[in-house]
Amino acid sequence: MNFDLSEEQELLQETVRQFAANECPPTRVRAIFDGDAGHEPELWKGLVELGLGAIAVPDEFGGAGLELLDQALVAEALGGAALPGPFLAHSLAGLAILWAGSDLQKKTWLPRLAAGERLGTVAFDDGGERWQPSDWSLPAGPTLSGVKSAVPFAEHADLFVVGTAGGGLALVERGARGAVTRDLHGVDRTRRLGELALENTPCESLPNGVAASARVRDAGLVLLAADAFGGAQHLLEASVEYAKTRQQFGVTIGSFQGLKHQLANLAVEIEPARGLYWYAAHAFDHVPEESERSAALAKAHLTQVYMQTARDAVEAHGGIGFTWECDVQIYFKRAMFDRAFLGTPAVHRERAAALAGW
């Protein structure tokens, strides 16, 4: 029994890390974070050229035909760099069409998403944290009317996968009659959120949406858990480096017992949690009876660990930790996104308990 990554998976993750280090160092992350657009097409084009536009989509549609674990390893690397971009939402849009679309819809949209000719996103939140397919209330039909909140890159996406009442899924194209988007000015400026308002807007129903929507949500939970792991790991490393160089009272602050223990406790919390998202991704592809609960637990635990790590990193960085100029705040806000998007840890712990029959 092998619990480690294959050489190909390690190479994939290292390739993405190198891309992030070379093409999107902290100075570029900062520039995008501070900018108004929140999206750099050239940076996204570079990721697409690496094959990340539809990494889990079969090669017959232009994808790489890999598994969710491979996609999650990419998410971890992107989270570690706080790399801005639509990877999460675009990936989920592709998976939704792959699992729920007709043959014609797959042939029409998947090659375009894989090649980066179109940018996809998902519109699942009905407002008030109603993220789950069972919560969706937008009446399904040949047209859609209503509002979807917290839509990633709503201002830039060409194609929206919209959650409808009963757990269905429908496609809406940018420019469709009655479709209006606006920026919501979310705190995580590496992954901008917007609102999608629809009024008698023509749509295409995805015929297998009811059967596939929960699976799309679970894929999203695993990718968020992976992003959270990468971000938490980076914040720990950054805090340790800062503690080794910052001096107070003539000594490095890392020599103080209080900070030593705080950072050691973080290391003990973060590293063992890696297996949670690895197993959730493995279960997603190979152990379907454990997939839903594993995804819920991974998302709940890792996003909470990321949030706590961000709080501790602010403290470890002392007086500069909470300032706009310190990059810790970029990761802090990314942790807030990971914690809230697709449901809070409390929501998913309750689901996991119910799925276990408790």
Q: What is the pLDDT of residues 307-355, one digit of tens each?
A: 999 999 999 998 788 899 999 999 999 999 999 999 999 999 999 999 9
pLDDT (0 to 100) of residue 322:
85
The pTM (predicted TM-score) of the whole model is 0.97
Helix ranges restricted to H, 81-208:
87-100, 103-115
pLDDT (0 to 100) of residue 342:
97
What span, in angstroms and rounded, lies between the C-alpha atoms of 191 and 3? 32
pLDDT (0 to 100) of residue 37:
78
Q: Are 97 and 106 in contact, with CB atoms under 8 Å apart?
A: yes
Residue 182: count of CB within 10 angstroms of its CB: 11
Q: List Cβ neighbours of 265 (8 Å cut-off, separation of 6 or more).
A: none
What span, in angstroms and rounded, lies between the C-alpha atoms of 98 and 100? 6
- Is residue 127 scored above 90 in pLDDT? no
Q: What does the mean pLDDT of the chain come to?
A: 95
pLDDT (0 to 100) of residue 39:
86
Closest CA to 336 of 211, 186, 219, 113: 186
Q: Which residues pair with 182 in a beta bridge?
A: 195
